[in-house]
Structure 1
Amino acid sequence: MAFPIPSHLPRRPNPQDVSSQILSKIDAATNQSLNSTLAASWLAELDQTIQSTKERIHERVQRDLPEFKRQLASSKSVQTRLESLTTNVDSLSESISNPETGLIPTLIGNLSRHAEVAQEATDASVAYDTLFHLLRVKKELKTLESLIEAGKLPEAVEVCRKLETLFQESPAHLNETNVMTDAKRRFGAAQARNEEQLSDAFTRSILVSYNEIIMLSSVQVRQSETVLSLESIMSSLSPSSLANHLTTLRRDLTTHFFDYMLKQNVQVSTPPSIVEHKLLLLPAPPCEPHSKELSARLESLSIVLGHLQRHFFKYLPTSHSTTFTRSLCKPTTTSVLNNLLIPALPSSFDLLPDFLTLVDHAVSFEDADIVGILGNDPHDRPVKAWADGACGHYERQRRTLILGHARDVIIAPEDSTDVFVVEIDILPEATPSVVPVQEDVSPGAVGADGKVKDDAWGFDDDLNSGSAVEADGWGFDDDLEPEPEPEAELEREPESIPEPPPLVQPDDVSSSPSLANGTKGITGEPDAAEAWGWNDEDNVPPAEETAWDDPWADAPSPVSAKPPESPTTNGSRPPPIPSIPPPTLAPPTVSSSHPKAATRLEKAAKKGKKHASHDFSSDKASSDTASPIPSFAFHPSPTPAATTPEPEHPLPSASKRPSRLTVTNVPKETYSVSGRTKRIIRIVEDVLAEGTQFASSKLFRTPSASSSSSATPGSIILLTAPAVLDLHRAIYPVKFGRELRRAEAGMRFANDCAYLGEEVQRIRRGLKGGDAVPVGERLGECVRCFRVLSDSWYHDVVGAQKHAIDKILATGTQGLVYTGDQDRYDECEDAINQALQDIRRLAHKLKGILAKSKYYTAIGMVADAALSRLMADVLALPDIPEVESHRLSELCRIFNAMEGMFVEDPAQPSFVVAYVPSWLKFSYLSELLEASMADITYLFEEGALVDFQVDELVRLVRALFADTPLRTNTINKLLGGHPIPATQ
């Protein structure tokens, strides 16, 4: 089937000529329509069309017949000329291209013959030039080989240069030929042989060994009779070969002569000779003084350089002369510095003058030999530059030696027996002194009506006393007789350890004489504490807790005073308040107007009587913070008794205190220090003495402002003293870090730092002169660093022990929950006993190491951490049944044994409150666990529970008692806040 034509394509137009029309008709005919008649019609139509066409042509010709004839004639003429032109072209082609007679074949033949002749001529010319060049090369090669055979090496070098030129000018086609390759091979072998013989002649002319130099002015070539001079040999050597020989010679001279001669004593010998110039080095015996021996080494080296100049340097080619001699300058100056001057730096001040003489000789040697002979640049003088800085070089070497010795002292193994005891004077504000009792009825006494006066607790004494408290300090020494203070104590440095704040207000420690002396009550009744049985366990502390057999036993006892008898008045005593010092505590006498208090609660009041006449009777007003470390002044030697000046403002009531108490001597304390610190201080003192001597010797002039060195003589040595201390601080804690983890080692290191700080401060005060200002500032920094390091290390050790005790209690007691169960109670008891034993062991370790005040402060901080942990766990309990309350009270009483660690004399009461801020609060807590609601209410109303926060008391009441109206009323009363004492 036919392919359908797309509708978008244009259609073929209808045919216009007859043939197309007839073909279209034929195409349109079908089998049904096609017949003879139709075919005859097509033929007739064609014939008619032909006939009509002929008629139109004839009519056209006839219409313009002349023009037709003219065009016909023109056509015939063109045809005739075309035939003539074709004939002529064929004839010309024959005459040009005929192989025998044609022009082109004849020309090509002649050109071919000419090219052959020209090539023959060129070949002949090239062959001539090549043969001529090869003949010249051959002649020069023969000449070269004959000269080498004859030993005429310098002439052979000239021929080698010509041959090299010939090889460079040889034609390119000749370079690839076998004959030229063979010629080059022969030339290379001859040239290498010639260079080898020249190198051999140079080597035999210059002989350098470990002890001699042999230089021959002429040498005979091997296997010939020719004798060559040293100058001709060096001028004939190739630049690269000569450079290699000179490099080797420079190395041998530096190693076997320059370095060797400057390291040891030698004697230079130059035997006379015409041909052979020999220089020998012979061992020389040592001579005295040593500086003369070192100067002789420079003189010997000068002789060697002069010998080289006369017999070798002048023969060097011009291209290598200056380069080689200047190349010897740096090895020579380096050898003079490294092998002579630097090793000769003296290790002591006494050897400096001789050394400076040697330095001057070395500078002269550089001017005369290195600059004069070797031709060094006059502006480049390393020896002179080093000599200008000789002062600094000597001081830096001394610093290195000093620091090396100090390092050996610092890292020396620890020796537990290498310790000594340092005695210090206690500053007045750091000495807890006796609180004198009052002979009059002071605030806190009862009135005639039997009621407690409004100012019974002395809360407003600070308001009344005003500036007297400020001038009074802690108020412990108000009654001491003034004594002159030593000068060492008066000159306290600003960077010293800050004084601790007063533990209590001065007027807070004053109380009724009857309370302070533990006499019977005002009404004539026996002591309530004794009647209640509070002293059953406290009469005689255990021997292991109170025996004092450490080095402190030799220290003088604190000042004591006999208190006067107390007046008697009517009325009851106020209840105890834990936050004020123990002397103010006394059990109250219960009147009929108050509910009956529990007898066990009045133990705390009895404890107050133990502290009435003891030195360490102060405590902080807040029990939440630890007691600070009492400060002290360091005195390496005993000083005369000090006088405490009178306060600027008089006290409000002069009758409150006795007029004066006589001080028998200055209180002192001792602590243990490693013997290593003495050696370090001795090094520092020796260094400062050496630096001072060096600066005052005037051996070196002070550098000017234009000088490159701005350090004054002796400054580096002086500054080495604080560097020794810096080295100790940097190395010792790292080297002995494992040992310092032990409490006793850490505390001794803290003592070492404190001792070093005080000793360095003493040394700093003794510095004099303007040059001592920089070292004084550096020593002041060292003092501050040592004091900070001592204090921080002290607190770090205490903190580690507190953490260990806290971990024991936290792990063992687990919050003191379920203590009603016997197994849990046993676990808690074991943990508390373990913590108690660890605190005792720590106290035993630190007793002979720390000063007494620091010892009690450290043990008090650890003990306070244990008490605080136990109190926090108890107060956090939401519910405390009766059984658990009794058991918790028993667990708390285990820590009462710690009081024995704060007793020096069994006949005197303990001073635990002065160093354990939580002691009274903890004591009350152990009793409150077994107290009744009436006891708690009574003590709260009387202000005895001021150490407790209101929310703590509320939680404790809710945990101890059931939900009753009485408990609700009590809690509401507690939420009202602590009672405010009325003023007078």
Structure 2
Amino acid sequence: MAFPIPSHLPRRPNPQDVSSEILTKIDQATNSTLTASLATSWLAELEDTIQATERHIHDRIHLDLPQFEQQLESSKSVQTRLQSLVSNVDGLNRTLSDPETGLVPTLVRSLTAHATLAQESTDATVRHEALSHLLRCRKEFGSVLSLVQLGKLPQAIEACGVFDQVLHDAPVHLHQTNVMLDLKRKFQATKSRAEEQLSEAYTRSVTASPKCLTILPSVAVRQSETILSLSEILASLSASSLSNHLTTLRRDVMTHYVDHLLQQPTSLTISSEDAENQLTLFPSPPNSEDLTTRLDNVSAALKFLSTHFTASLPPSESLSFSRAFCKPIVTSVLSNLLIPSLPSSFELLPQFIGLAKHAVAFEDECVIRMLGNDKSDRPIKTWVDGMGGSYERQRRLQILDASRVIILAPESADDRFLVEVDIRQDKSPAVVPVQAEEDTDASWGLNGSSSSSDAVDDGWGFDDETDPDSAPAPTSPSLPVAESVPAEEDGWGFDDEEEVEPAPATELQEPSDANGHDEPANDDAWGWNDDAPADSAEETAWDDPWDDPATKTSAAVESRPPPAPSIAMSQASMSPASTSSPKMATRLEKLANKGKKHLNGNSPLASPALSAPTSSANRTPAPAPPSSPPPAPAAPPEKRPPRLKAVAVLKESYLVSGRMRQIINIVEDVLAEGQNFAASKILPPIETSSAPGTVLLQSAASLLDLYRALYPVKFAGRLKTAPDAPMLFSNDCLYLSGEIARMEAAGAAKNLAPVKDRLVECRTRLKVLGDSWFEDTVAQHKQSADDIISQGAGGFTFTGDQDRYDECETAVSRVVQDIKRLAQQWKGILNKSKYYTAIGMVTEAALSRVLEDILALPDITEVESHRLSELCRMLHALEALFIEDQEPFVVAYVPSWLKFSYLSELLEASMVDISYLFDSGALVDFEVDELVRLVRALFADTALRTNTINKLTAGRQ
């Protein structure tokens, strides 16, 4: 069955001829349709087609019969010529290629015979040439070998050159032959032997040792009787060998006879004989040496070398060998003689100038004339012309190196000294206000000068035995000082009828640490023993480096803020006639009079017995007795400054490192040397942009810059860990700044113009650096105190709980101890003004944190108020740091002191106390919103609290 054609394939076109049509029909026939008649029809159709084709051909021939016959004859003629050509080609092939008689085999046989004859002739010619050249090589090699054996090395070297050319001209076919290779090996060995003998002869002719230079004019060749001159040896050496020998000789001459002679004191001797020329070196004592002799020695050595060696060199090598010494010799003179000999002081310059002139003459005579250097290239003369700059630069390096040793030297606590400084108004108080003595008692109603027997009932708990002139008198810069009140008027309405004896010192409660253990009495962190004598307390009896009667500051403000009325007030009236009025706020009065010294906390109150925590809602103010209304508050005093007397503080002292004195001495010496150098005119002027002495003068400023750059890096660890190190560094910088200012003033009429701007810049930068270290150190300890209280006290919340109270107590105690320890470390370093300023700022940071945290408490129970008051009184021990000659001046350096002192009292005060203090103007340091928050936190929500808050709010409007 036929394969079916896919429908997508193109179909074959219908056949046009009969055969194709018949075949198609046969293909289309099947078994069922194929019959005999159908096959007969196909045959008949084919026969008809054949006959029709024959008829068509016949008709076509007879259509143009003459032309057909012509073409037929042409075809027959072509066939005949083809047969003739084939026969001729076959005959020619036999003529050319016949093995016996053919032309090509005969020609090949003739050419082969000719080629064989030519090869035989060529072989004979090559053999003749090779033998002839080998015979010549043998003859020349024998000559070379005999000359080497006889020791005639120069002739042997010339013969080697000839034989080398013979080898180079050898036929090509001999290059790789065994005989030629063997001849080359023997020749190379002979030539090497000759060169070795020449090198050995040169080595014996020229000997350069560290102590002796020997040059032989002639030398005998070993194992022969031949004597060679030095010039013959040098001329016969190969280029590479001669170059190596000359390089070695230059190195030895520069090392032993130039550098050594320029570096060490040496004497030399020259001996010349027929068989030997020798230069010998001998060490010389350095004590009486003239440095110019070193140049003379080098000149003699160079002349010796030029006369006995350079003259023997071939002309092509002589000039290059001499000029090769020029640059190394000039460099050696500068680096080994002139530059190291630069004097370290101005007095030695004239002697050195003579050496420099001699060096210029040496350069002209030896380097230029003898060695043939270019006349325009004169480095020594150029350096000598600029010798002033070189001297200044070297001195600069010496100064900075010496300063670097001083700056980087280890710290020594013994190497320090005190510096006195004048205290000026713009830096620290030079005049400290002191209230007139006659107004002290009258202004505050103290009992020191009163004849009343009830004077012991002081509202602030002052002891009757205290001298009024030595009583603490703190004041706040922000609190207006009240006008003086006449002495006969009791300004605070003290109750003269009731006298409360103060508790003895032995009845004070001993403080305990966080673990409940008793603290030792002689190490009281809270200052409970502040009423001890001044020479026994660590806060008031220091080994005071400032304790100089001529320079000691002994002035303080003799003014006190009005105390809370509940502490000692017995009557509401402000005049003596009001003594019969009923007393108010007796609870606070009893606490105040129990072992209490004064408001600033020299002896904090003993903690009262604590009851269970009570909510502020259950705490109500104690109302006044109904039979007597509360007295009207006294009119606020006129806010004007009191009569003051001024005590001028002339000088204070501070500690400075001993290295500062050394640095200042160096700076002064450098400035003096620079001025002398500029004015001397002993050196020729230099055509430069800077005047003589400028580099020296500016070295003084560079020294100060070096100190600023090196010291904080070298001693970075100490500056970070030791509390006194930053303050000492600040003192050092300020001392340097002050000394520079002094030198500027002293040298105003002198020639300091080239360095004046740099000194001013250094002084300013040192001043800024010293102030910055002081401020940064204080800021660091302020932050430390703030962090201790913030992290340890946790905002003073829930102090009714004993554990929380212990944590707060530990934090406050730690701050007190840290500030005291810091005071001990800073006191011997800083001057008084800066010391009290620094300690006051750290104390202020601690008080501000406590104030902020306590005033931010939304609710304070009665137990918490007592405990918070105790915590505040712990910080009162810091007042002892600001007492001199029993005169406290803490408020002059701690602005928040009075506010903080009032806070400790307000925490245990009644509503009436707070109202009275507010009306009397004692609470001016508090903001209204702070007082309102404190009242709301302390007292329950009652009508009295509301009225008090309204009064507080309206009082400042």
Give the TM-score taking structure 1 as reference length: 0.77
1:77-127 residue CA offsets vs partner (Å, 9 max, x unmatched)? 444333333333332332232222222222333233333333333333333
Instruction: Tell me the residue number matched to 2:617.
Output: none
Deviation, 1:843, is: 2.6
- SS at 1:879 equivalent: coil
User: Given the superposition, is the C-alpha separation of residues 856 and 92 from structure 1 closer, same or farther in structure 2, using an over 3 Å criterion?
Assistant: closer
- 1:164 equivalent to 2:154? Answer no
Pairwise CA distance, 1:244: 0.3
CA contact (8 A) 2:433 2:645 kept: no
Q: Distance in 1 between matches of 2:548 and 2:285?
A: 64
- Taking the TM superposition and a 5 Å limit, the aligned residue runs for 1:845-860 are 845-860=825-840
Cα shift at 1:916: 0.8
Q: Which amino acid aligns with 1:379?
A: S
Q: 2:404 aligns with which of 397, 402, 407?
A: 407
What is residue 514 of structure 1 aligned with on the other side?
A: 485
8 Å CA contact retained: 2:432, 2:555? no
1:878 to 858, 861, 864: 858
Alpha-carbon contact 1:438-1:513 (below 8 Å) kept: no
What's the secondary structure of 1:783's corresponding residue?
helix
- Contact residue 268 and residue 281 of structure 1 kept, 8 A: yes
- The code of the aligned residue for 1:697 comes to S
Matches within 5 A, 1:374-393: 374-393=371-390
Matches within 5 A, 1:497-512: 511-512=482-483
Distance 1:868 1:524 in 2: 29
The aligned residue for residue 710 of structure 2 is 731
Q: Aligned in 2, Cα 1:362/1:79: closer, same or farther, shift over 3 Å?
A: closer
Q: CA deviation at 1:305?
A: 1.0
- 1:950 aligns with 928
Q: How much has 1:245 moved relative to structure 2?
A: 0.4
Instruction: Measure the CA separation in 1 of the matches of 2:330 and 2:493.
Output: 103
SS for the counterpart of 2:836 is helix
* Local SS of the residue matching 1:552: coil
Is the 1:871–1:922 contact (alpha carbons within 8 Å) kept by the matching residues of 2? yes
* Counterpart position of 2:255: 255
Matches within 5 A, 1:40-439: 40=40, 42-43=42-43, 46-47=46-47, 50=50, 69-286=69-286, 288=288, 290=289, 292=290, 294-427=291-424, 429-436=429-436
| Contact 1:266–1:284 (CA under 8 A) maintained in structure 2 | yes
Shift of residue 948, structure 1, vs aligned partner: 1.9
Q: Contact conserved, 1:576 with 1:588, CA < 8 A, in 2?
A: no
Which range moved further: 169-178 or 28-37?
A: 28-37
Give the Å deviation of 1:885.
1.3
Distance 2:372 2:336 in 1: 22
SS at match of 1:953: helix
Moved more, 40-49 or 929-938: 40-49
> Partner of 2:222: helix, strand, or coil?
coil
Residues 723, 256 of structure 1: alpha-carbon distance in 2 compared, 3 angstrom cutoff = same
Distance in 2, matches of 1:21 and 1:847, equals: 137
Alpha-carbon distance between aligned partners in 2 of 1:918 and 1:952, rounded to the nearest angstrom? 14
Matched, 1:589 2:567: no
- Please tell me whether the aligned partners of residues 261 and 297 of structure 1 are also in contact (alpha carbons under 8 angstroms): yes
CA contact (8 A) 1:520 1:527 kept: no
The answer to whether the 8 Å contact 1:746/1:797 transfers is yes
Root mean square deviation of aligned Cα: 4.2
> Aligned to 1:957, what secondary structure does the other structure show?
helix
Task: Compute the displacement of 1:869 (Å).
Answer: 1.5
Q: Contact 2:408/2:714 (CA < 8 Å) preserved in 1? A: yes
Quote the offset at 1:770 in angstroms. Answer: 5.6
Instruction: Report the residue type matching 2:939 in the other structure.
Output: F
Query: Is 2:698 aligned against 1:719?
Result: yes
Q: Tell me the secondary structure at the aligned position of residue 718 of structure 1.
A: helix
Question: 1:309 corresponds to which letter in structure 2?
Answer: S
Per-residue deviation, 1:248? 0.6
Match of 2:511 in 1: none
Q: Distance in 1 between matches of 2:738 and 2:59?
A: 153
Partner Cα separation in structure 2 for residue 318 and residue 689 of structure 1: 58
Q: Encode CA deviations 1:248-303: one digit per residue, 9 max, x unaligned.
A: 10111112211222222333222231242222223344563x4x2x1112111111
Q: CA deviation at 1:776?
A: 3.1
- Determine if contact 1:596/1:934 at 8 Å carries over to the other structure: no
Q: Secondary structure at the match of 2:816?
A: helix
Secondary structure at 1:891's aligned position in 2?
Answer: helix
Contiguous gaps of at least 5 residues in structure 2:
446-474, 506-527, 566-571, 603-637
User: Does the CA-based 8 Å contact 2:246-2:321 persist in structure 1?
Assistant: yes
User: How has the CA–CA distance of structure 1 residues 32 and 966 changed in structure 2, closer, same or farther, with 3 Å as cutoff?
Assistant: same
Paired with 1:280 and 1:941, the residues of 2 have a C-alpha distance of 109
Q: Secondary structure at the match of 2:547?
A: helix
% identical aligned pairs? 54
Distance 1:600 1:336, change over 3 A: farther
Q: C-alpha distance in 2, partners of 1:716/1:607?
A: 64
Distance in 1 between the 2:185 and 2:655 partners? 92
**AA partner of residue 697 (structure 2):** L
Query: Which residue identity lines up with residue 549 of structure 2 in the other structure?
Result: A
Pair 1:530–1:815, CA change in 2 (3 A): farther
1:198–1:236 Cα contact (<8 Å) kept: yes
- Mapped partners of 2:164, 2:72: distance in 1: 91
CA distance in 2, matches of 1:697, 1:527: 87
Q: Structure 1 residue 523: deviation in Å?
A: 7.7
1:359-409 per-position Cα deviation (integer Å, ceiling 9, x unaligned):
111111111011111112222222222222322333333333333333333
Q: Deviations over 1:888-939 (max 9, x none)?
A: 1222122223223322233x4x211111100111112112222333443444
Deviation digits for residues 172-220 of structure 1, max 9, x if unmatched?
A: 3221221221222122112212221221222222111122222222222
TM-score normalised by the chain length of structure 2:
0.79
Task: Name the counterpart of 2:877.
Answer: 897
Aligned twin of 2:626: none
CA contact (8 A) 2:150 2:226 kept: yes
Residues 80 and 851 of structure 1: CA distance in aligned 2, closer, same or farther (over 3 Å):
closer
Cα separation, partners in 2 of 1:118 and 1:533, compared to 1, 3 Å: farther
Query: What is the SS of the residue equivalent to 1:423?
Result: strand
Cα drift, residue 674 of structure 1: 3.3
Whether the 8 Å CA contact 1:832–1:891 is kept in 2: the answer is yes
8 Å contact kept, 1:434–1:559: no
Measured in 1, the distance between the counterparts of 2:772 and 2:893 equals: 19
How far apart are the structure 2 equivalents of 1:794 and 1:33? 131
Q: Which residue of 1 aligns with 2:469?
A: none
- What amino acid sits opposite 2:903 in the alignment? L
The equivalent residue for 2:463 is none
Q: 1:449 aligns to what?
A: none
Q: Distance in 2 between the 1:143 and 1:28 partners?
A: 112
- Supply the AA of the counterpart residue of 1:201: A
